[in-house]
A and B are shown apart, each in its own frame.
Chain A
Amino acid sequence: MLWYLSKRILRIPFVLLSVSLLIFFISKNVPQDTVVNILQLEGKSEAKDNDEGFSKEDYVQVAKKYNYHLPQFYFKFRPSHYPLKRKLFPSEKNQEDIQLNEKKQFSLPAFNWNGFNNQYHIWVKNMFTGNFGISFVDGKLVSTKIWDALQWTLLLVFISLFISFALGISLGLFSKTSDSKKTSEALKLGSYLLYSIPVFWFATIMLIFFTTDDYGSWTNIFPTVSVLDPTDKSIFGKLFSSGKLLILPILVTSLHALGYISRQMESSLSNELGKSYARTALSKGLSFKAVVKKHGFKNALLPIITLLSSAIPGTIAGSVIIETVFNIPGIGRLIYNSILLADWNVVFALVFLIAGITSISFLMSDLLYMKTNPKIHFDTD
């Protein structure tokens, strides 16, 4: 088991490294030019030297300041008639592209080793020392921006997961043990509906019908969506100042997860009760409820525990929709906005964070599974 565990933990840095490579290559090939963003941020894009609205000196200066003049990666393949160093300035680069394009000739691939002084290396080094850089949209530090957003998402995710697990497990238990068949059928159908309704539709419907009194006085249950108060810095301050506005998003998120969890709980419980030890207990004369309470419940909880750790990344992914609909300045909305505005420093850090959380969650789920069920061995893996 120790061998499996160490192998499993050692895999995480490799996954994160691959993620960083992937994101880096994508970020270097998006149509937007980051240097232009920085120029606009620094207010240098007014100079009327050319069509772009900034001067060549400023562009080159900024590009050099943020290491955009360095080679991108450790090595490079290129057609051998290509120049090793491409032009930096956009219009000159376009011209060079056209010139190279005219020379349609066959040439062998040339390999070039760029050494360690490249953009990727510097970026990874900075990440390790905790220097995530600044956001190119508003000039704030990336770490503060992410920490502000993370608090909102953590509030949302943990409160709704707590609610959904507490309620989901008890609902699943109730639907299995309830005496009337009708209740259990209704609960089953209800949980199925809750789970299969798309989140964004559910959120929108709740927002439309239950925040105004247009459709009868009783429908005005929840407060309308408004801009959340950004002044409070601490998590609990946030909870107190805008807790009212968080009710609906938390409700939507937890109801969606609740459907899935109660369904899983129900099926896992009926799976356990079908096993021979439960049948033996029943035939010994124990009551059905006692069998569920003493034997079935604990064993049925095993798969549910592992659900918990995979639910965390799932809920974070779902927060993109929820936070956009309900106007919460959390991680999901931050990553969406940053991608649209090509604010890659923020996107890098966020994707890294999420990939880390996800990998650790899956590791935790494996560990919990091993801890709770000694029969499981992963050695054969």
Chain B
Amino acid sequence: MAYIKRILKFINKKKRGRFSVIILFTLFIISLLAPFIANDIPIVCKSNNGLHFPVVQKLFNKTHHHKAECNWSIHPLIPYHQKSLDLKNGRFKSPFEKQDISSIRKRHWLGTDALGRDTFAGLLYGSSIAGRIGFFASLLSFIIGMLIGIISAYFGNNKLRINYKQLAILLPSILVLLYQSIYGFFFGFANDFMWEASVFLLIFIMSGFCIWKLHDSVNSKIRVPLDNLILWILEVYKSIPNIFFILILLSLLTKAGVINLILVIAFVLWPIVARYTRAEVLKLKEENYIKSAEVSGIPNWTIIVKHIFLNAMGPALVSFAFSFSAAILLEASLSFLGIGLPVEEVSWGSMLSEVRNNYKAWWLALFPGIAIFLVVSALNYLGEVLGEFFSQN
């Protein structure tokens, strides 16, 4: 707790850090409150039956009362949902243009797109989608990357040793597991679930038993070159540029969706975290307290969980910030290219891509672009400030 306080204090001292935290916090609040700021149904509605909260009810998927029944109502600041079509003001209405509206409250302050969707509402809802995809994708890649980075750096090429019996069980089971997970992921799960599940269970039990027995094998003969193996995977990742890799992976999916996109982005981004964590743990390994823990016979997994993981966690946060911004940028460029998210979902990138249908609609390019730019640079700043903090300590 005290550690977190020190980090926050450090960020607060730096001008860049304060700036980025303020921006990120504002966007977080906006993304949470988006349905209350921009919506086509009232927040509070007084009808003959009493008070209703249509926005809240709609959030929880309940049917809301019709607008006509309200005696009085409080409407959100912007009377448009991101998906609500204003056909009277369709075909790219500019912010300064004369708009076909009943009152000034109904004006599209930042213009509309081809279908008459409000740009401002889209911006607000877009922040929630960018935040969701960015956060969960980078969280997932953080978990995977940290795990792999720690294992690769701590065990190196020599430390993990097994004996011939274990190899005889472990090697085929890992091979089958790998094949099953690759093959079954693409082909099988739906077709023959029972078979997949039983094989998986068997393999998990077998390899779990081996790992449980691993610390007994002090005099084991065979060294497992974990570090080389992981470095090889990282090199394969490095040789295909991220955007191509994502495009290829996305072609596997039959259905576009937010969760699929999160999984794919996380699958591509984890090497960022893994490389960073690996470098950190390699430094940590030279510290005296780790060495003395090793000498005093504390098992590897205890050292990893108790010392390495907690100490590498802080520096790895830096790569979390960078992968967060990379994920947002990737999502935006994918929606800009027109793939990844389902068509009805409005994100900053998809708003930007509409400009390609009409090059005169500058407002559709300017505002979402500013939003992306602000988030990405705030995250990068935050990462840099965190990096400074951890390099000083």
Interface flag for A370 (CB, 8 Å): no
Q: Which residues of A contact B187 (CB under 8 A)?
A: 29
Write the B71-110 contact mask toward A (1 if CB under 8 angstroms, else 0).
0000000000000000000000000000000000000000
Question: Is B332 touching A26 in the complex (CB atoms < 8 A)?
Answer: no
Give bound CA distance, A107 to B196, whole Å. Answer: 10
- Measured between C-beta atoms, what is the minimum distance from A230 to chain B in Å? 21
Residue of A25, A198, A340 most packed against chain B (CB within 10 A): A198
Task: Check if B372 is an interface residue, CB within 8 A of chain A.
Answer: yes
Contact across chains for B248 and A25 when beta carbons are under 8 A apart? no
With A198-B333, A339-B248: A358-B239 Cβ-Cβ less than 8 Å:
yes
C-alpha spacing A28/B360, complex, angstroms = 42
Known contacts A200-B352, A208-B362, A340-B339: A26-B251 contact under CB 8 Å: yes
Alpha-carbon gap, A66 to B321, bound state (A):
47
Question: Which residues on B sit within 8 Å (CB–CB) of A320?
Answer: 243-244, 247, 337
With a cutoff of 8 Å between Cβ atoms, the chain B residues found around residue A32 in the complex are 251
Tell whether, in the assembled complex, residue A79 and residue B192 are in contact, meaning their CB atoms are under 8 Å apart: yes
B359 near A18: Cβ-Cβ < 8 Å: no
Chain A residues with CB below 8 A from B356, complex form: 204, 325
User: In the docked arrangement, what's the CA distance between A104 and B193, Å?
Assistant: 8
Stretch at the interface among B23-31, B42-50, B159-167, B175-183: B175-183
Question: Judging by beta carbons under 8 Å apart, are A77 and B195 in contact?
Answer: no
B236→A26 contact, CB < 8 A: no
- B59 at interface by CB-CB < 8 Å: no
Most chain A CB inside 10 Å of its own CB: which residue of B191, B241, B359, B369: B241
Q: Which residue of B lies closest to A79 (CB)?
A: B195
Q: Main secondary structure on chain B at its contact with chain A?
A: helix
Query: By the criterion CB–CB under 8 Å, are A358 and B241 in contact?
Result: yes
Q: Which residues of A have CB within 8 Å of B254?
A: 31
Q: How far is the CB of B145 from chain A (nearest CB, A)?
A: 19
Decide: B191 and A19 in contact? CB cutoff 8 A.
Answer: no
Binary CB contact string for chain B from 344 to 371 against chain A (1 if under 8 A, 0 otherwise): 0000010010011001101001100100
* Interface: B198 (CB within 8 A): yes
Provide the bound-state CA to CA distance between A19 and B240, in Å.
Answer: 8
A212-B359 in contact given A196-B373, A336-B247 (Cβ < 8 Å): yes
The residue in chain B whose Cβ has the minimal distance to the Cβ of A75 is B179
When C-beta atoms are compared, the residue in chain A nearest to B373 turns out to be: A197
* Interface membership of chain A positions 320-352, coded 1 if the CB is closer than 8 angstroms to chain B and 0 otherwise: 110011000000000110011010000100010
Tell me the residues in window 293-340 of chain A with beta carbons closer than 8 Å to chain B beta carbons. Answer: 313-314, 316-317, 320-321, 324-325, 335-336, 339-340
Docked CA distance A211–B49 (Å): 58
Query: How distant is B325 from chain A, measured CB to nearest CB, in Å?
Result: 9
Interface size class of B (residues with CB under 8 A): 35 or more
Query: Does B186 have its Cβ within 8 Å of any Cβ on chain A?
Result: yes
- Known pairs A77-B180, A79-B192; A354 contacts B240 (CB<8 A): yes
Q: Mark B114-132, 1 if CB is under 8 A from A, else 0.
A: 0000000000000000000
B369 / chain A contacts, CB cutoff of 8 Å: 198, 201, 204-205
The interface centre, meaning the residue of A11, A32, A109 with most chain B CB atoms within 10 A of its CB, is: A109
> Which residues from B are CB-within-8-Å of A100?
191-192
Task: Indicate if B301 sits at the interface (CB-CB under 8 A).
Answer: no
Q: Is A268 an interface residue (CB 8 A)?
A: no
Band of interface residues on A? 35 or more
Q: Does B372 contact A104, Cβ atoms closer than 8 Å?
A: no
Given the complex, which residues of A lie within 8 Å of B337, measured CB to CB?
320-321, 324, 336
Bound Cα distance from A347 to B373, whole angstroms: 31
CA distance A100 to B192 in the complex (A): 8
Taking the nearest CB of chain B, how far is it from the CB of A4, in angstroms?
14
The answer on a CB contact under 8 Å between A207 and B359 is yes
Asked whether, in the complex, the Cβ of A77 is within 8 Å of the Cβ of B176, the reply is: yes
Chain A residues whose C-beta falls within 8 Å of the C-beta of B339 in the assembled complex: 340
Name the residue on B nearest A362 (C-beta). B238
Q: Please measure, in the bound complex, the distance between the C-alpha atom of A325 and the C-alpha atom of B254, giving whole angstroms.
A: 26
Whether the Cβ atoms of B372 and A26 lie closer than 8 Å is no
- Chain A neighbourhood of B359, CB < 8 A: 207-208, 211-212
Across-interface contacts of A213 in B (CB, < 8 A): none
B33 interface hit (Cβ, 8 Å)? no
Cβ–Cβ contact A204 & B365, under 8 A = yes
> B237-275, CB under 8 A of A: which get 1 and which 0?
011111110011111101000000000000000000000
Contact with B352, one of A77, A196, A204 (Cβ below 8 angstroms): A204
Determine whether B220 belongs to the interface, using a CB cutoff of 8 Å to chain A.
no
Bound-state CA distance A18–B369 (Å) is: 37
- Nearest CB of chain B from residue A253's CB, rounded to whole Å: 15
Contact with B along A106-117 (1 / 0, CB 8 A): 110100000000
Given contacts A101-B192, A106-B195, A324-B337, contact A77 B247 (CB under 8 A): no
User: Which A-chain residue is minimally distant from B253 (CB atoms)?
Assistant: A31
A199-243 contacts to B, CB under 8 A, are: 200-201, 204-205, 207-209, 211-212, 214
Q: Is the CB of A205 within 8 A of B244?
A: no
Residues on B with C-beta less than 8 A from A25 are 182, 186
Given A209-B362, A336-B337, check contact A314 B241 (CB 8 Å).
yes
Which residues from chain A sit less than 8 Å from chain B, CB to CB? 11, 14-16, 18-19, 22-23, 25-26, 28-32, 77, 79, 82, 97, 100-101, 104-107, 109, 196-198, 200-201, 204-205, 207-209, 211-212, 214, 313-314, 316-317, 320-321, 324-325, 335-336, 339-340, 342, 347, 351, 354-355, 358-359, 362
Would you list 20 pairs from A and B whose C-beta atoms are within 8 A, ordered by A residue? A11-B232, A11-B235, A15-B239, A25-B186, A26-B248, A32-B251, A77-B179, A104-B194, A106-B195, A109-B176, A109-B195, A198-B329, A204-B355, A205-B369, A208-B362, A314-B241, A320-B244, A335-B244, A351-B244, A358-B239
